[in-house]
Amino acid sequence: MELKDLFLTPIYLGVFYAIAFAVRPRFTNIYTKKYFIPALSVKLAGAVLLGVIYQFYYGGGDTFNYFNHVKIIHKAFSDSFAKGFQILLSHGEYNQNTVQYTAFMPWYRAPTEFFVVKIASVFSLLCFNTYSVIALLFAITSFAGMWAMYITFVRISPVLYNKLTLPIFFLPSVFFWGSGLMKDSLCIGALGWTFYGFYHIFIEKKNISNALVLGLLGMYILISVKVYILLSFLPPALLWVFNENNQRIKSTALRLILKPLFIVLGLATGYLGATNLTAGDEKYDVNKIGERAKINHDYLTSYVESGSAYDIGEFDGSLNSTIKVAPQAIIISIFRPFLFEVRSPIMLLSALESTLFIWLTIMLFYKTGFFRSFAIVASTPILIFSFLFAIIFAIGVGVNSGNFGTLVRYKIPLMPFYLSALYIMQFKSNLRIRTTK
């Protein structure tokens, strides 16, 4: 970060807060209004803090690698607007007009990283290419998606409008890793828009035009940056849509007839979506996922004694071995690192959150009752979706991450859904108890 960051950041913050106060009435109600500015504030603070930590603690990292690419594109715009625009429209191909710039960008031919660079480059044109302001714009983009996630959960469980702010906005890992100039900020915001779109289009069936735009935008970003998040989301989401609509069919006979049809249709849609979305992709092609996971596993577990790495057990990339390590992957992703595994200040933050998740899981399941908890989950479509998404995602990142340093970033999409589901489950239990008295 430079001197202009110190000068321009307060000015832009003032502008952003002025806009936030102006639009707040449009996106809040009497109950959610008081959380809008605090939720935005922690996102903005997380964006700045991430830059500070990477600069003064890590001495560099991905966020500044993105910015280094942005500076090159910004220079291209300064030299020739046409050349800068050509780079933004490029997809890694050779162009004689722009090679003098792209030759110095290692991520020019890395589609997911370069997508983030393109968005950051557009933001750079709005703020004199200032790192901290670009990071704040990423935080605002992320916040917009997460506010959509929040109001969707509130529509589903209006009474929990206050409790749902913790899992969505105020978990430290979520607002720290999901706010700055990083892939994760775009992805968790895009996941919120996708969640919003699915709910309003297929379940509530209201505000469809806005939901369609936001849902498609969210899916496009996820496909462009981290398609595996969308692949983890789609099967549970399709099951959620089926369960919600199946409950509205009054005829028991018709429900029984349609149920297997919808399940088969959902599985087929999920498979076709997965194969078409990832076909030919070096990282995420479904035919290569097992092979790549095995490579990642072997590489990362060779460093298990380095401190932050973990050993998930024997894994060869096959379906059988994935099933065997799945329970371990779920525990690692949701409940670890444990406090005694802490090796750094950043890891301590993650361990404290993991401890919170352990405590809340035990407490809420205990208060609800073990068997009653599963009965409530089985009868509540949003709980089936949320827990299933969290479990599928936990297996994926748990198997592939290999160390807690990367896992703490990769797992943030599951955290709001898992903890929100716990609170909804507790509320449903309390409601049943009150109605039976």
What is the per-residue pLDDT across 276-313, written as a single tens digit (0 to 9) for each? Answer: 544 444 554 444 555 555 555 555 555 444 456 777 77
3-class DSSP state for residue 403? strand
82-90 contacts at long range (C-beta below 8 A, 24 or more positions apart): 84/121, 87/121, 88/118, 88/121, 88/122
pLDDT digits (tens, 9 = 90+) for 349-392: 889 999 999 999 998 888 878 788 888 998 899 999 999 999 98
Q: pLDDT digit string (tens) for 382-417?
A: 999 999 999 989 988 888 877 888 888 999 999 999
Task: Please give the pLDDT value at position 184.
Answer: 95
Q: What is the mean pLDDT of residues 52-74?
A: 91
Question: How much is the average pLDDT of 106-112?
Answer: 94
Q: Distance (Å, rounded) from C-alpha 241 to C-alpha 262?
A: 10
DSSP 58: I
More confident position, 98 or 296: 98
DSSP 244-300: HHHHT---HHHHHHHHHHHHHHHHHHHHHHHHHHHTT-TTT-TTTHHHHHHHHHHHH
Higher pLDDT, 402 or 174: 174
38: preceding bond cis by omega (within 30 degrees): no
pLDDT at 396: 86
Model-level pTM? 0.90
* pLDDT attached to residue 89: 94
Q: What is the rounded distance in angstroms from the CA atom of residue 320 to the CA atom of residue 323?
A: 5
Tell me the pLDDT of the chain averaged across its residues.
86
The mean pLDDT of 232-253, rounded to a whole number, is 80
Amino acid (1-letter code) at residue 133: V
pLDDT at 398: 86
The confidence score (pLDDT) of residue 304 equals: 47
Phi and psi at residue 244, to the nearest 5° = -65, -45
Q: Are 5 and 130 in contact (CB under 8 A)?
A: yes
Q: How high is the pLDDT of residue 277?
A: 46
What average pLDDT score do residues 123-143 get? Answer: 96
Query: Which DSSP category does 160 fall into?
Result: G
pLDDT at 173: 92
Query: In Å, how far from its chain's centre is CA 154?
Result: 19
Question: What 3-state DSSP class applies to 309?
Answer: strand
Between 37 and 227, residue with greater pLDDT:
37
